[in-house]
Every structure is written in C-alpha cells, then in structure tokens.
Amino acid sequence: MPPPPTAALSSSSSLCLFPLSSYSSPKKTQLGFCPSFPFTRLTNFTPTRRLMTCSAVSIEKETLISHRPHTFLRETDGLDDGSVRSRFQRMIMEVQDSVCGALEAVDGAGKFKEDAWTRPGGGGGISRVLQDGDVFEKAGVNISVVYGVMPPEAYRAAKANVTDQMPGPVPFFAAGISSVLHPKNPFAPTLHFNYRYFETDAPKDAPGAPRQWWFGGGTDLTPSYIFEEDVKHFHSIQKKACDKFDPSFYPRFKKWCDDYFYIKHRDERRGLGGIFFDDLNDYDQEMLLSFATECANSVVPAYVPIVEKRKNTPFTESHKAWQQLRRGRYIEFNLVYDRGTTFGLKTGGRIESILVSLPLTARWEYDHKPEEGSEEWKLLDACMNPKEWM
C-alpha cells in the first residue's frame, strides 16, 4: 500500500518542503525537498496539523531576471570550493543542459524557452519549457537552488530528540532538478525525473544542533502502450545505475516508486514505475552525491532511445484517444495526490512553474473500460498490478 498523505511546510513556485517520516527507517523523521515537480515521502501528520502548518507559511515570490547567472550560491558558501552544495549545483546545471540538448535533437524543430529567476531569501532557478514541437507536446526541465528558513515545527519534525530545546527558525539550503516530458505520439512514453539535495543549519538559538542533510529523487516511465523491450530497457538502465552503488537499491527503490505513484481512487499506478527514494543520509555523503549524479546522467540513455524508436510510429485516432485518457490519469495524480502541486496551488506559488508538469491536452470519458485482452487493457492491468521488469 502507498504511504499516507503528507503535510507541506513551505513553498515557492518551484520549491516545496514536506515533513516526512523515514520510509526505510521508521525511527527517524526528516524533511523532503521537492523542486518543480514534487516528489515526497509521506508522513503520519493529521489533516488538522497539516492545515494549521500550511496556514502559517508565507510564500516568497520569484523575480524574473534577464540572464542566467553563473551560480545561485551565496558568496559565503564559496562558488567553487568543492562543497557538496557547489558540486550538486554544478551537476544539475550540466544535466539540464545535456537533457535539453538531447531533447531538442530528438524533436528536430522545438526549442526550449528559458526563464531565470531569483528569490528575496537567496538563490533562484532556471525553468526551461519546449512546447508544441514536432515530437514533444510539452517538455519542462527545471532547476532550483534555494535558501530559506524553516519554522520551528519543521525543525522539530526533522529531529528525533527535541525535548531539551525549543529552537527558533532553522536556515535551510535546497537544490534540485526536475522534469516532465510529454511526447505527441501515443506510442512514445511520458517521462518524469527529479533529483535533489537538502541541508539544514543549526538554528541561531540552538547553536549546538547538528547540521542535517539528505538526498532524494527518482526517474519513472508513464507509457500509454506497453512495448516490453522499451520498459525492460528503461528499467535496466535504472538497475545499472543502482547496482554501481548497492545491489539492494534497485529492488528497494523500484517498489518505493510503485507505491508512491498510486492513484488511490482508481486503484492503479500512474505508470510503469522506475526508481524513487528520499531522505537518504545513512550512507557516505560522497557516495550519495555520486549516486544522484549517476541517476541524473542516466536519464538520456534510458529515455531518448525509446523516443527515437517510437516517435514516428503510425497511430490512429483511437490510439490518440487512449493516450489522452492516460494523460487524464497523469493530471489526476498530480492535482489530487502530488503534495507539492496541491500545496503550491493553495498558497499562491507561481502557477506556470507549478503546472508545467501537466500536458497540453487530456481527455476524460464517462465509465471508460478497455476491452479485456486489448493493448489498452494490458497497460491498465500493469498499472493496477505492478510487474517485475528485470
């Protein structure tokens, strides 16, 4: 079963913070960071607590800037000091460039529009969107590098032992890359990926409190039709990236992905999964930075060959209609269950950033049921009953 609903604590248009109980280690509680297209691990906070927490949060508005800066880091962090912050920022900027370049090459006609922005509290981000190209209906690839302050209750949720102190606001740093890619051809799958890094500093009135950090992210595939060789190729790349670091990662994170992207009111998954993880800090920090980098760099080899193979496949109006129905499921998950999206909508974040993950077009039909044994039925069955592809 999927985890229960989470509570949101803070947000900007491309940044959402959630108190999260550790999925793999219930004894510890941490915070999850979700840039642009939010991923969250879910917690046992009650709805009353969630509403009280959300109502106390103020949202910082972004300011658009004319040129992409070299860095969003503060000078006090050091621009090229070899810190995890600077190296993670460099990684996500490089991945944004490589993914956008690969997608433009596949599309052949579409070009990414870029918006760069900053926040009053520090940091900023770069949003890139390719819309209505020859191959991609809509493709967004965003990065965020953000400084802020968590309210005391967020810090208490992040620490296991807080009975001996009542800390004030806690400074945080969060950086990530996030993307959703919607091709036009119904035989080419949608892809989502997101990788992020989060740190907290000691609050001013609790100087002895330790700095905390963690990594999160994942890559998942959402096709309208199953080509088994495509799905196996995609999962094999995820497994290969995981196996370089720990053979337990792929089965663990694959199940986590299946459980997270669960549309409860439909009793089905959004797609055919991939990997998903959060709150990772119980391994060496250097190893996890390398792992997140490996996963992010695996996006192009995992996805682009599939799109190249399927982008010109002939299709009928019936195939397109089924794709539009599956896009409806995608929207349902994002607007009903994705905590970052729903929180951003309720708290006045930048709407273009919040909804950039949604496709241009979708469809809903009353009581639609695919014929048993059909290709459409096979996809739905796989979404209802997750399979082992490797």
Question: 3-class secondary structure for 16-61?
Answer: EEEEEECCCCCCCEEEEEEECCCCCCCCCCCHHHHHHHHHCCCCCC
> Packing angle between helix 285-297 and helix 299-310, nearest 10 degrees?
10
Catalytic residue list contains 182: no
Catalytic residue among 182, 192, 233, 235: 192
- Kindly state the DSSP code that residue 318 receives in the 8-state scheme: H
Which residues does 80 contact at the CB level (< 8 Å), separation at least 6?
Answer: 86
Helix, strand, coil shares of the chain, percent, nearest 5, are 35, 25, 40
Buried b / exposed e over 280-318, threshold 16 CB at 10 Å, is bbeeeeeebbebbbebbbbbbebbbebbeebbeeebeee
CA 330/CA 191 separation, integer angstroms: 11
Kind plus residue range of the DSSP H or E element containing 275: strand 274-280
Q: Read off the amino acid at residue 53.
A: T
Give strand pairing partners of 194. Answer: 178, 218
Q: Read off the amino acid at residue 136.
A: F
Kind plus residue range of the DSSP H or E element containing 297: helix 285-297
Which residues does 33 contact at the CB level (< 8 Å), separation at least 6?
Answer: 15, 16, 17, 174, 176, 196, 197, 198, 216
Please state, as a whole number, how many other Cβ atoms lie within 10 Å of the Cβ of residue 105.
10
| Stated length of the chain | 390
Tell me which residues are annotated as active site.
192
